[in-house]
């Protein structure tokens, strides 16, 4: 199966034609004229996709999204959550069952909207706890199945309510892993469960038992966040889980003195611990420092218009703008780096063997041999595309067009 993307600008560079065979980029050549492409240049039977001079990027990788809680497309409702993780969790628990649509329908609709906007690689949470049991997990699995030919989706069994506050929480988590969850989640071992050793021993134990990666939400501030991070480092090293642990948020990094921050980043690099950010206000990750140390970083949308927050709209290009904005970036190179984080950066979080960003200037993902996980966007330059976020997008997964003009194909 051969596809030719005609007249596209990889990473905003010179116009090229890109050949894709069996889902892999096989050749990039200077863009051909209409006459040549209509004649013998295109391999017989090739599908030609007209780029019309648009920018070609690797598709987006949303590595931190809660598909099970979103309300994308449903009537807007006022925010009712109390502050703090526990207060928000209780607000969600009070409301999710009465939502206008089922978890499966909401997750399927949201994932579809994400694909339409250019995301084909996803790592989503599914909350498992004594209230929801496996209902939300099963809803997310249904969404993955509905879009199985349009995106690759990893599902994290996520103990949003902690593991130690309610009896039976760890059992439900393990049940989800038995049913095939791809990743085990953890959350704020000090501030939520108030017993970091016990919490981390449970989640690392499950990761080892089921041979899955681990992703830990870490909202904890300053020295508390550092303390939890050090316990995570100890266990990653002891269990030989290099490359398999992701710290999400890591808000505390923004509070640390410079020397402690650099030391922690160096330890992340040494144990190949990756990070996922949602581009929060006020506590940006030090993206340049992380890139310089070789730490894998990805971007995600977190909850989207849900019982936790009204933000999020299924568009990773919007969230890329937010990453640049909250990082206070203006230089084109740094804004383009945000695009690299949102695309191939996230892909390397999902797969530590995938190409990773070597520096803030690195723009991999569009060379011969790379998977044809691609998105075409409108814009004079990559930075302009981030600023304008125009609708003329075409999305390819495994070399096939799966969405065009913000609609699934």
Residues that bind Zn ion (CB under 5 A): 302
Q: In this complex, which beta carbon is closest to Zn ion, that of residue 193 or of residue 302?
A: 302
Q: In this complex, which beta carbon is closest to Zn ion, that of residue 188 or of residue 302?
A: 302
Q: In this complex, which beta carbon is closest to Zn ion, that of residue 247 or of residue 324?
A: 247
Q: In this complex, which beta carbon is closest to Zn ion, that of residue 187 or of residue 317?
A: 187
Min dist CB 302 to Zn ion, Å, is 5
Q: In this complex, which beta carbon is closest to Zn ion, that of residue 110 or of residue 376?
A: 110
Min dist CB 127 to Zn ion, Å, is 10
Q: In this complex, which beta carbon is closest to Zn ion, that of residue 302 or of residue 373?
A: 302
Q: In this complex, which beta carbon is closest to Zn ion, that of residue 301 or of residue 327?
A: 301
Other Cβ atoms closer than 10 A to 35: 8
Residue 68 structure tokens: 């099970």
Min dist CB 92 to Zn ion, Å, is 12
CB-based closest residue to Zn ion: 302
Q: In this complex, which beta carbon is closest to Zn ion, that of residue 5 or of residue 314?
A: 314
Min dist CB 159 to Zn ion, Å, is 12
Min dist CB 364 to Zn ion, Å, is 27
Q: In this complex, which beta carbon is closest to Zn ion, that of residue 125 or of residue 321?
A: 125
Min dist CB 14 to Zn ion, Å, is 39
Give the per-residue SS3 of the chain.
CEEEEEEEEECCCCCEEEEEECCEEEEEEECCCHHHHHCCCCCCCCEEEECCCCEEEECEEEEEECCCCCCCCCCCCCCCCCCCHHHHHHHHHHHHHHCCCCHHHHHHHHHHHHHHCCEEEEEEEEECECCCECHHHHHHHHHHHHCCCCCEEEEEEECCCCCCCCCCHHHHHHHHHHCCCCEEEEECCCCCCCCHHHHHHHHHHHHHHHCCCEEEEECCCHHHHHHHHHHHHHHHHHCCCCCCEEEEECHHHHHCCHHHHHHHHHHHHHCCCEEEECCCCCCCCCHHHHHHHCCCEEECCECCCCCCCCCCCCCHHHHHHHHHHHCCCCCHHHHHHHHHHHHHHHHHHHCCCCCCCCCCCCCCCCCCCCECCEEEECCCCHHHHHHHCCCCCEEEECCEEEEECCEEC
Min dist CB 140 to Zn ion, Å, is 14
Task: Please report where in the chains the tokens 């568009």 appear, as a residue.
Answer: 315
Min dist CB 276 to Zn ion, Å, is 9
Min dist CB 210 to Zn ion, Å, is 21
Distance CA 407, CA 301 (A): 20
């Amino acid at each position: 199966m051969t596809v030719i993307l005609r007249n596209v600008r990889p990473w905003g560079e010179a116009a090229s034609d890109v050949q894709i065979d069996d889902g892999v980029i096989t050749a990039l050549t200077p863009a051909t004229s209409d006459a040549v492409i209509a004649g013998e240049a295109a391999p017989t039977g090739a599908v030609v996709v007209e780029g019309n001079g648009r920018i070609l990027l690797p598709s987006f990788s949303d590595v931190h999204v809660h598909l099970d809680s979103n309300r994308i497309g449903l009537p807007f409702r006022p925010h009712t959550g109390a502050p703090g993780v526990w207060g928000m969790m209780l607000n969600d628990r009070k409301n999710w069952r009465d939502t206008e649509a089922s978890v499966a329908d909401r997750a399927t609709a949201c994932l579809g909207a994400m694909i339409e906007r250019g995301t084909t690689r996803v790592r989503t949470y599914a909350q498992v706890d004594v209230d929801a049991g496996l209902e939300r997990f099963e809803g997310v699995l249904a969404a993955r199945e509905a879009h199985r030919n349009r995106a690759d989706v990893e599902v994290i069994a996520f103990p949003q309510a902690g593991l130690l506050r309610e009896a039976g929480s760890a059992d439900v988590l393990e049940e989800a892993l038995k049913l095939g969850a791809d990743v085990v989640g953890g959350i704020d071992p000090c501030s939520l469960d108030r017993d970091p050793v016990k919490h981390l021993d449970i989640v690392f134990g499950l990761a080892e038992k089921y041979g899955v990666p681990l992703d830990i939400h870490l909202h904890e501030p300053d020295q508390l966040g550092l303390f939890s991070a050090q316990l995570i480092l100890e266990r990653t090293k002891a269990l030989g889980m290099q490359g398999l642990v992701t710290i999400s948020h890591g808000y505390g990094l923004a509070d640390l003195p410079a020397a402690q921050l650099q030391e922690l980043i160096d330890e992340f690099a040494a144990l190949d611990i990756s990070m996922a950010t949602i581009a929060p206000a006020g506590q940006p990750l030090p993206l340049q420092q992380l890139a310089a140390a070789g730490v894998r970083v990805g971007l995600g949308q977190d909850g989207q218009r849900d019982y936790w927050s009204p933000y999020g709209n299924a568009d990773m290009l919007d969230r890329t703008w937010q990453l640049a904005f909250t990082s206070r970036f203006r230089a084109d190179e740094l804004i383009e780096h945000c695009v690299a984080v949102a695309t191939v950066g996230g892909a390397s979080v999902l797969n530590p063997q995938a190409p990773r960003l070597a520096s803030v200037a690195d723009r991999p993902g569009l060379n011969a041999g790379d998977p044809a996980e691609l998105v075409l966007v409108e814009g004079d330059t990559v930075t302009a595309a981030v600023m304008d976020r125009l609708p003329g997008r075409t999305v390819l997964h495994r070399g096939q067009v799966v969405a065009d003009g913000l609609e699934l194909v």
